[in-house]
Structure 1
Amino acid sequence: MKKITFIFLLLLSVHAVGQTSDDAFKEPLKNVISRIRERYQVAIRYPEELVKDRFVTYAGWRFTPDAEKTMANIFASQDITFVKEGDRKYKLQAYQYHLKTPEEGKLQLDYFATLYNDLRGWEKRKAVLKKEILSALRLQPLPVKPASAPITTPVRKMNGYTVQNIAIETLPGLYVCGSVYRPVNAKGKLPVILNPDGHFDKGRYRADSQYRCAMLARMGAIAMDYDLFAWGESLLQFKTADHRRAIAQSIQALNGMRILDYLLSLRDSDPSRVAITGGSGGGSQTMLLSAIDDRFTLSVSVVMLSSYHSGGCPCESGMGTHLCGGGTNNVEIAAMSAPKPQLVISDGKDWTQNVPQTEFPFLQKIYGFYGRSELAENAHFPGEGHDYGLSKRLAMYRFIAGNFHLDLKKIGDANGKIDETPVTIETEAAQYVFGEKGEKLPANAIRSFADLEKIFTRYTTQ
């Protein structure tokens, strides 16, 4: 009996010790936040669901004399970050893998500078990045291209250009829709310009998207804008929520390559003049596609280049492309286009606000390895915000016209000023390929994300 009692007491003691080491220093996150507020005299706000049922272990050991260091120690353990909203005021939010601080972004660029200091070193780094990015996207090798012909609508004639809606099958049963803008009465070989859409309301149906494609066509180029995955007519096949799945990044990259395959198959397209330009999420696609597809000869990324922001959507970074090469960012990815002409358009009210001081000098340094620093340009609009507005479009028109030898006079008014008023802004329905209710969607079209996953896996693992 004494032996049994001893064993029982021993087990109880072990259990108590276990509780002391694991539970005695465990307290609700809300209580810890209250202590932070009181000790450092700061205001902290947060959505209730962010902290509900969360606990911190060893919170007291995480406190330091510095308020922000303390908050970093505690909230990092909960996958929570904080942003400063004013003097001694903070907001908590869920950890965002795509977002660093500007200081952290600059430190990463400084680190990259230690990896290469000449063309040979950079080319070695670039080769590693390209290989690993394609692998991360599961596009190495590219899946076999469907043999189907594009689906097109009748051509619509406008003032100096035409428009035709088109759907291209990029994987069996997967379609990407867009509109092709062409110049009227053009002769000879024509430049090709892709216009991937960003996360702006209405996507490719927006006026600013129509303006830039129509104006590029009036200048003498073949321009095409097209839907994001699970946006626009892609919603006939998928749900809105499917856009925020990681594989969206791979699908959008594949869509861009397949579109370029088609445009370059046109007998009047010029493979020596191939450009891509997009804003926001379209800017992410611009940088990525320019980096991994050597057929692009010019790029214009708009309101997206940043050393500390890699895109707030899985369609921009969900496949882990920014983990390649031991860690990279959009500045290195954009630099992979060097020494091809590149215009970076930035503004003063989003994550591109530091481009003139931080990101662009790094980009120019890479171009300098080739002796072609002048081929990288930055148009910065400090008083503007996150859009692909008129001033940004004007900068793009001039850059493309200068590098592709297009005639700006074709889009100018009597005084030589660039004038967008001749462009016809069409209704959303006018730009559909598959009809107003999707009644013309092909019979083989995928109807669920689960089916897409199966097909993508099948065709990317052959």
Structure 2
Amino acid sequence: MGLFVSASIWASITVCSAQDSDRSYNETLEETLKRIEAIFDVELQYNQDLVEGKTLNYAFWRIRQGNLENSLTAVLSPFDLTYFKENEVKYTIKSYQYHKKSIDTGAEQLDYFTALYHNKAEWEVRKDALKACMIEALEIKGLPEKPTAEPIITKRRNYKGYSVENVALEVLPGVYTTGSVYRPKPLRKDHPIIIMPNGHFGQGRYRESQQIRSATLSRMGAVVVGYDLFAWGESLLQFESEDHRLSVAQTIQTWNGIQWINYLSSLKETNPDLVGITGGSGGGSQTMLLTAIDDRIKVSVPTVMVSSHFSGGCPCESGKPIHLCEGGTNNAEIAAMAAPRPLLIISDGGDWSSTVPEIEFPFIERTYGFYGAKDKAVNAHFAKEGHDYKYSKRQAMYPFMAKYLGLSLEKWMDTDGKVDETGITIESENELKVFGEQGENLPENALIGKEALFKLLE
């Protein structure tokens, strides 16, 4: 890269007297970016509307020859813009997003964490501090007391190797979480528990792939629940869809997960010492967070969400300041808080988890090394796949859950050595509802609207 600018470029700078230097040193943002391109021999890509009409005081003086990244930060930050390194000579300029950083910035943050702790004792001091801070940031301890009302349960439907019933839990006065509970057949007294927080995939817990995942794990021997996001599914009977993007959604979704563990642990047929969790996308965010703050979770499988440079584009994932705890953290370090419990990270090449094998997993594996448990941290990476929880990713998850939760694997293997997903009955959306097709069975005490929720939480 060139570090010097030609005489013709420098000649374009107006020679000015001291008294008019403030005016003369002003340049447009676009002119400044072109100068950076010339100095550092790089290509900057951006939409014209990001730079149009923007002028920067002392623009050229902000450029630090020899440090491209500092120069870009100095000229972009006044306009809430940031950069992302695509390769050694190409950078993209975008609007600033608090939840999204460049890959280099994420790796740099992991290097910083690595220097903070060098052994189990030092790590556990930070882990405990992070856990306490995240619980405080979520404001869970300040929530109103959970009502003692009995769960609302629909008629159980029986299928080959499993059954399904719909359940609603009153988690706050007048606030309900709804889900579908899958039980294995025949039942015994010590079935493991698996909770599956939904992600931002269309249809939520009604989605075919979600039903397949729930039913298959149940046939393998687990009692499973897939439950609605806040202001998704039947939660829309109480709140508007845009309420899902309130920061309080992150608090309520975390609280919902805790209450589902409580409920399933109270059943006579379950073993509360064997709790697993898995979810994709936004459900992957919940999987990491719940595992970090709830020690009852013994096996964790966050899917297509672990990243050092992305913390979730929805306030339901990052609306509360959990990522600012202890001077700042990220999802890779939060995922590492599972150590030494078994952790399977499922990643792919088509989203922000594409860097897991090279950047995030070595960092997490190092943390597991503090416990002599590197074998309990596993990465299943699908370089040619995208952001989903489809067949191949489920086939990576099943044997991991089976290994650490004692599920039946061989009984359900097909001739190709994969877990058999055939024979699952896909139910309609209405069959999976707790409160009826039109919400006619919604309890009379149900809160309606965000203002009622805010009043409750005051």
TM-score norm. by structure 1 comes to 0.88
Cα deviation, residue 398, structure 1: 0.3
1:165 paired residue number: 166
1:15 paired residue number: none
Cα deviation, residue 357, structure 1: 2.0
> Which residue type is aligned with residue 228 of structure 1?
L
**CA–CA separation in structure 1 for the residues paired with 2:305 and 2:416:** 33
Structure 1's 433 and 363: CA in aligned 2 closer, same or farther, altered over 3 A?
A: same
1:112 paired residue number: 113
> Which residue type is aligned with residue 58 of structure 2?
Y
**CA–CA separation in structure 2 for the residues paired with 1:362 and 1:417:** 30
Report whether the alignment pairs 1:326 with 2:340.
no
**CA–CA separation in structure 1 for the residues paired with 2:375 and 2:178:** 36
2:61 paired residue number: 61
Aligned residues: 438
1:6 paired residue number: none
1:430 paired residue number: 431
> Which residue type is aligned with residue 348 of structure 1?
G
**CA–CA separation in structure 2 for the residues paired with 1:315 and 1:47:** 31
Structure 1's 85 and 408: CA in aligned 2 closer, same or farther, altered over 3 A?
A: same
Q: Deviations over 1:97-150 (max 9, x none)?
A: 111122221221111122211111111111111110000000136642111111
Structure 1's 102 and 24: CA in aligned 2 closer, same or farther, altered over 3 A?
A: same
1:399 paired residue number: 400
Does the 8 Å CA contact 1:218/1:410 hold for their aligned counterparts?
A: no
Does the 8 Å CA contact 1:193/1:224 hold for their aligned counterparts?
A: yes
Cα deviation, residue 32, structure 1: 5.6
Cα deviation, residue 193, structure 1: 0.2
Structure 1's 449 and 217: CA in aligned 2 closer, same or farther, altered over 3 A?
A: same
Deviates more, 1:316-325 or 1:139-148: 139-148
2:6 paired residue number: none
**Secondary structure of the residue that 2:323 maps to in structure 1?**
helix
1:5 paired residue number: none
**CA–CA separation in structure 2 for the residues paired with 1:365 and 1:82:** 29
Q: Deviations over 1:335-357 (max 9, x none)?
A: 21111111111112211122122
1:222 paired residue number: 223
**CA–CA separation in structure 2 for the residues paired with 1:365 and 1:90:** 31
In the TM superposition, what are the counterparts of 1:173-188 in structure 2 within 5 Å? 173-188=174-189
> Which residue type is aligned with residue 321 of structure 1?
I
1:153 paired residue number: 154
Aligned-residue CA RMSD in angstroms?
A: 2.5
**CA–CA separation in structure 2 for the residues paired with 1:122 and 1:192:** 29
In the TM superposition, what are the counterparts of 1:268-279 in structure 2 within 5 Å? 268-279=269-280
2:339 paired residue number: 338
Does the 8 Å CA contact 1:46/1:91 hold for their aligned counterparts?
A: no
Does the 8 Å CA contact 1:192/1:222 hold for their aligned counterparts?
A: yes
Cα deviation, residue 26, structure 1: 5.4
Residue segments in structure 2 that go unaligned for 5+ positions in a row: 1-18
Structure 1's 316 and 21: CA in aligned 2 closer, same or farther, altered over 3 A?
A: farther
**CA–CA separation in structure 2 for the residues paired with 1:295 and 1:254:** 14
Structure 1's 372 and 143: CA in aligned 2 closer, same or farther, altered over 3 A?
A: farther
**CA–CA separation in structure 2 for the residues paired with 1:147 and 1:52:** 58
Cα deviation, residue 455, structure 1: 1.4
Identity of aligned residues (%): 51
Cα deviation, residue 51, structure 1: 5.3
1:313 paired residue number: 314
**CA–CA separation in structure 1 for the residues paired with 2:281 and 2:173:** 29
2:267 paired residue number: 266
Report whether the alignment pairs 1:452 with 2:453.
yes
2:356 paired residue number: 355
Does the 8 Å CA contact 1:36/1:42 hold for their aligned counterparts?
A: no
